[in-house]
Homo-oligomer: A and B are copies of this chain.
Amino acid sequence: RGRPAPDPLGARLRFLAEADRLKSVLRGTTIFDGTRRETSAEHSWHLALFALTLGEHAVDPPDPARAVRMLLLHDLVEIDAGDAPIHGNHDPAAQEEAELRAAERLYGLLPSPQDAALRAIWDEFEAARSVDAVFARSIDRVQPVLANLATGGGTWTEYSVTRAQLETRVGDKVRRGAPILWDALVPRLDAWFGPA
């Protein structure tokens, strides 16, 4: 960052080739037919589609294009830092440090000022304060819930998740951006977990 980029197109193509590696990061959650774990790249695509279609159910009206951009970029750091499953055990401080280093390296592949601009979108997502970030994060949390419901339990079974844990780790975050979305899932969650 800050150093002159004599070949911005070449730098962007190297960034895009590096980004391809997100297709090899496997998540805890499976695709909706349960046949295999989904990759972080296809998860990111799916979330962008959620953001394109669910905006009117957000508590504050988001800018869908900004939410889409956040969701396309939000998991890139996993290329270096790996996926930290929400119901798994990991050291949050170590994970955060690894993600910060990954963001430096990956966004740093882009020419200036695009490196800073895209990095700022990721920082905004991580900060979880803006309307678009709060909406994007509720989307990011709700998609695995739908995958688990579609596959008869998925990571809930794998990690012995309780309804109370789901409410704290997932429900509270979904409700923050889109309470209507969480409310719509409660009957299906009651059917799977038993009433909260």
Question: Which residues of chain A have a CB within 8 Å of any CB of chain B?
Answer: 8-10, 12-13, 15-17, 19-24, 31-33, 35, 38-39, 41-42, 44-46, 48-50, 52-54, 56-57, 65, 68-69, 72-73, 110, 114, 118, 146-147, 150, 180-181, 184
The answer to whether B24 touches A110 (Cβ under 8 A) is no
Nearest-neighbor residue (CB-CB) of A63 within chain B: B65
Q: How many copies, total?
A: 2
Residues of B within 8 A of A16 (CB): 46, 49-50, 53, 146
The answer to whether B24 touches A54 (Cβ under 8 A) is no
The answer to whether B9 touches A114 (Cβ under 8 A) is no
Select one of B69, B73, B110, B184 contacting A9, CB under 8 A.
Answer: B184
The answer to whether B50 touches A184 (Cβ under 8 A) is no
The answer to whether B180 touches A9 (Cβ under 8 A) is yes
Chain B: minimal CB distance from A53 (Å): 5
The answer to whether A31 touches B20 (Cβ under 8 A) is yes
Nearest-neighbor residue (CB-CB) of A57 within chain B: B9
Q: Are A48 and B46 CB-contacts (below 8 A) given A17-B150, A53-B15?
A: no
The answer to whether A42 touches B23 (Cβ under 8 A) is yes
Residues of B within 8 A of A20 (CB): 31-33, 46, 147, 150
The answer to whether A13 touches B72 (Cβ under 8 A) is no
Residues of B within 8 A of A56 (CB): 8
- What is the bound-complex CA distance between A65 and B181, given in angstroms? 25
- What is the bound-complex CA distance between A12 and B39, given in angstroms? 23
- What is the bound-complex CA distance between A31 and B94, given in angstroms? 29
Q: List 28 A-B contacts (CB under 8 A).
A: A9-B54, A9-B180, A9-B181, A9-B184, A12-B53, A12-B57, A15-B53, A16-B146, A17-B146, A19-B49, A20-B31, A20-B33, A20-B46, A21-B33, A22-B45, A24-B31, A24-B35, A45-B45, A45-B72, A48-B48, A49-B73, A52-B69, A52-B72, A53-B110, A53-B118, A65-B68, A68-B69, A68-B72
